A and B are shown apart, each in its own frame.
Chain A
């Protein structure tokens, strides 16, 4: 459960104040698949990073599973990021010096609420995303789609309840994009909340709800029909 209350984010720049997020009041229930769409610069990434505890809002409150995110100290907030949230960014962000398996295990370095053996769990996750034969490969030996799948496996490593994804299919071809979206659908079916930012309106069909953003203002979009599934 994610709830925001009058969340604002402004940036002071040389050319004046930019309101990246304006009085956002949104509520995302457990198990939802929420898509955030909007033009470039409309504030989607800003919203997602505030929900994920990556950047502090200028004002307002973010409640995540009953906890006031921005009232916590750094240790506790980091703990929440590590154990309750999984992030997938547009860039895969695998460390080039670690192999795929080690990259997927990376989140256990900081916190782990998972009881299983990390390397076993990482292996299973990589098999699930179809990279069972690439455990020992290094990032420079993987394709764009494979990197993205490894990043998704990594986001699931600490078994978070919420997955936050910022344009995870941004630079992929149509087929790979579909593959990745299917993967998120499966994750959602497992009961995890998925919040995904995209500027591709066509993907709306995968989601249970679409939030649209325009110059920092969030609004609910109605009547999306899915033709793809």
Chain B
């Protein structure tokens, strides 16, 4: 056995003041735990909303002005329509304030050679944010001009060669069921469609330089309605329809829920910090004689500061780790409950996400602990040794 170690003294002392230390640890457990739960729930819910709203696709759609059009009739994602817009409309729409993303689609024609007439839609892979997210398995690259994506109810496997308007296309992917007209459609690139048009293929309804619709994603901070008005005002030759998109609602709900959760965390911190300070002040006060004694044995102010600071940090670390661990476990156990409470599906965060959230929660708790330990440590170190010995009771 060598010299006496400060850690031995600290840890033994911690065992003695068990209830008080448990209280401090509990405070930090709550802080770290609530931070972790909040962070994880938010991350989980946000990624659920992100994938969800990506799948839900565009916020609105711009279609050719048609006096006979009804909202239902022009609900046009992947739906045939003989009305066309000049493709320059795309640039005008994209240039409208509040539009973050836009993608053009064109109804090429219906190939009657198929057992069930095949609706052929052209899209521009470089702009696309809708078709891509419907893919059953990730393509990992843009669709080529000799490739086709098939809707859920269209017959054909990946790798097969199929004939569309008499030309050979390779099936590059299949889409998930959408219970919409996309299920019975085939998707080719805009360039492939132009090629069909230029080759003079019979049965096409599309002409060169024409598109059927522009799908639009709006800046959420501007608001869908406002953006819709902008687009209508700037492009008088189009009709703009909002698409029933639940993403906005969910994220509104989510930001409300997250505000609630962060408020809880703040309250937890605001309540526990004074408690922690009070407890550590008590602890320093009760140990005045011990402090005086140690000073008489040669402990410098720095030594005292280090001892009390370390004690605060150890307690907080133990509490925060326990709290974060408990939070992680309960998140897994009660995922369903949380998800019902937030009324949104929670995507289990990745291992990396979880580790980051865990570290973040513990780190924040430690920063708070460091701040909270500063005061008692300073108090302990600044004490006049003789005063400490005189006034202490031990």
Chain A residues near B (Cβ < 8 Å): 45-46, 49, 52, 54-56, 74-75, 78-79, 81-83, 85, 87, 89, 91, 93, 95-98, 102, 105-112, 117-119, 154, 158
Main secondary structure of the interface of B (DSSP, over half): helix
Chain B nearest CB, measured from A118 CB (Å)? 5
Query: Chain A residue with minimal CB distance to B289?
Result: A93
Question: How far is it, in angstroms, between the C-alpha of A49 and the C-alpha of B295 when the chains are bound?
Answer: 12
Chain A nearest CB, measured from B314 CB (Å)? 15
Q: What are 12 of the A-B contact pairs (CB < 8 Å)?
A: A49-B389, A54-B295, A55-B385, A81-B298, A87-B297, A97-B16, A98-B9, A106-B4, A109-B6, A112-B3, A117-B1, A118-B3
Question: How far is it, in angstroms, between the C-alpha of A96 and the C-alpha of B297 when the chains are bound?
Answer: 17
CB-CB under 8 A from B301, the residues of chain A are 74, 78
Query: Chain B residue with minimal CB distance to A76?
Result: B300
Taking a contact as CB atoms under 8 Å apart, the answer to whether B4 and A102 are in contact is: yes
CB-CB under 8 A from B292, the residues of chain A are 54
Taking a contact as CB atoms under 8 Å apart, the answer to whether B13 and A95 are in contact is: yes
- B1-19 interface (Cβ within 8 A of A): 1-6, 8-9, 12-13, 15-16
Taking a contact as CB atoms under 8 Å apart, the answer to whether A118 and B1 are in contact is: yes
Query: Chain B residue with minimal CB distance to A78?
Result: B300
Chain A nearest CB, measured from B300 CB (Å)? 4
Question: How far is it, in angstroms, between the C-alpha of A8 and the C-alpha of B13 when the chains are bound?
Answer: 38
Query: Chain A residue with minimal CB distance to B300?
Result: A78
Taking a contact as CB atoms under 8 Å apart, the answer to whether A78 and B387 are in contact is: no
CB-CB under 8 A from A97, the residues of chain B are 9, 12-13, 15-16
CB-CB under 8 A from B290, the residues of chain A are 93, 95
| With known contacts A79-B298, A91-B289, A54–B16 Cβ distance under 8 A | no
Query: Chain A residue with minimal CB distance to B292?
Result: A54
Instruction: Other than A54-B385, A93-B289, give 13 A-B pairs with Cβ distance below 8 A.
Output: A46-B386, A55-B384, A55-B386, A56-B384, A74-B301, A75-B302, A98-B8, A108-B4, A109-B4, A109-B9, A109-B297, A110-B299, A117-B2
Taking a contact as CB atoms under 8 Å apart, the answer to whether B15 and A107 are in contact is: no
Chain B nearest CB, measured from A53 CB (Å)? 8
| With known contacts A75-B302, A108-B3, A117-B1, A87–B296 Cβ distance under 8 A | yes
Query: Chain B residue with minimal CB distance to A55?
Result: B386
CB-CB under 8 A from A74, the residues of chain B are 300-302
| With known contacts A54-B389, A55-B384, A96-B16, A106–B289 Cβ distance under 8 A | no
CB-CB under 8 A from A109, the residues of chain B are 3-6, 9, 297, 299
Taking a contact as CB atoms under 8 Å apart, the answer to whether B389 and A89 are in contact is: yes
A-B pairs with the 9 shortest C-beta distances?
A82-B298, A55-B386, A97-B12, A78-B300, A110-B298, A109-B4, A49-B386, A119-B1, A54-B386
Chain B residues near A (Cβ < 8 Å): 1-6, 8-9, 12-13, 15-16, 289-290, 292-303, 384-387, 389-390, 394
Question: How far is it, in angstroms, between the C-alpha of A87 and the C-alpha of B292 when the chains are bound?
Answer: 11
Chain A nearest CB, measured from B343 CB (Å)? 52
Taking a contact as CB atoms under 8 Å apart, the answer to whether A98 and B298 are in contact is: no
Question: How far is it, in angstroms, between the C-alpha of A106 and the C-alpha of B9 when the chains are bound?
Answer: 9
Question: How far is it, in angstroms, between the C-alpha of A108 and the C-alpha of B298 when the chains are bound?
Answer: 9
Query: Chain A residue with minimal CB distance to B381?
Result: A74
Query: Chain B residue with minimal CB distance to A108?
Result: B3
Taking a contact as CB atoms under 8 Å apart, the answer to whether B16 and A102 are in contact is: no
CB-CB under 8 A from B16, the residues of chain A are 96-97
CB-CB under 8 A from A52, the residues of chain B are 296
Taking a contact as CB atoms under 8 Å apart, the answer to whether A75 and B4 are in contact is: no
Query: Chain B residue with minimal CB distance to A111?
Result: B298
Query: Chain B residue with minimal CB distance to A93?
Result: B293
Chain A nearest CB, measured from B19 CB (Å)? 15
Taking a contact as CB atoms under 8 Å apart, the answer to whether A102 and B8 are in contact is: yes
| With known contacts A78-B303, A91-B289, A54–B296 Cβ distance under 8 A | yes
CB-CB under 8 A from A107, the residues of chain B are 4, 297-298
Question: How far is it, in angstroms, between the C-alpha of A108 and the C-alpha of B385 when the chains are bound?
Answer: 18
Chain B nearest CB, measured from A50 CB (Å)? 8
Question: How far is it, in angstroms, between the C-alpha of A120 and the C-alpha of B341 when the chains are bound?
Answer: 64
Taking a contact as CB atoms under 8 Å apart, the answer to whether A93 and B394 are in contact is: yes
CB-CB under 8 A from A85, the residues of chain B are 296
CB-CB under 8 A from B4, the residues of chain A are 102, 105-109, 118
Chain B nearest CB, measured from A122 CB (Å)? 9
CB-CB under 8 A from A49, the residues of chain B are 385-386, 389
Chain B nearest CB, measured from A105 CB (Å)? 5
B1, B290, B302, B387: most-surrounded residue (chain A CB, <10 A): B1
Query: Chain A residue with minimal CB distance to B303?
Result: A110
Contacting A81 at CB < 8 Å: which of B3, B289, B297, B394?
A: B297
Question: How far is it, in angstroms, between the C-alpha of A219 and the C-alpha of B203 when the chains are bound?
Answer: 126
Question: How far is it, in angstroms, between the C-alpha of A88 and the C-alpha of B381 when the chains are bound?
Answer: 22
Contacting B298 at CB < 8 Å: which of A78, A117, A118?
A: A78
CB-CB under 8 A from B9, the residues of chain A are 95, 97-98, 106, 109
Contacting B300 at CB < 8 Å: which of A55, A75, A87, A118?
A: A75
Chain B nearest CB, measured from A40 CB (Å)? 14
Query: Chain A residue with minimal CB distance to B388?
Result: A54
Question: How far is it, in angstroms, between the C-alpha of A49 and the C-alpha of B385 when the chains are bound?
Answer: 9
CB-CB under 8 A from A158, the residues of chain B are 297-298
| With known contacts A78-B299, A78-B303, A158-B298, A118–B2 Cβ distance under 8 A | yes
CB-CB under 8 A from A106, the residues of chain B are 4, 9, 294, 297
A83, A95, A108: most-surrounded residue (chain B CB, <10 A): A95
Question: How far is it, in angstroms, between the C-alpha of A46 and the C-alpha of B384 when the chains are bound?
Answer: 13
CB-CB under 8 A from B385, the residues of chain A are 49, 54-55
Question: How far is it, in angstroms, between the C-alpha of A75 and the C-alpha of B298 when the chains are bound?
Answer: 9
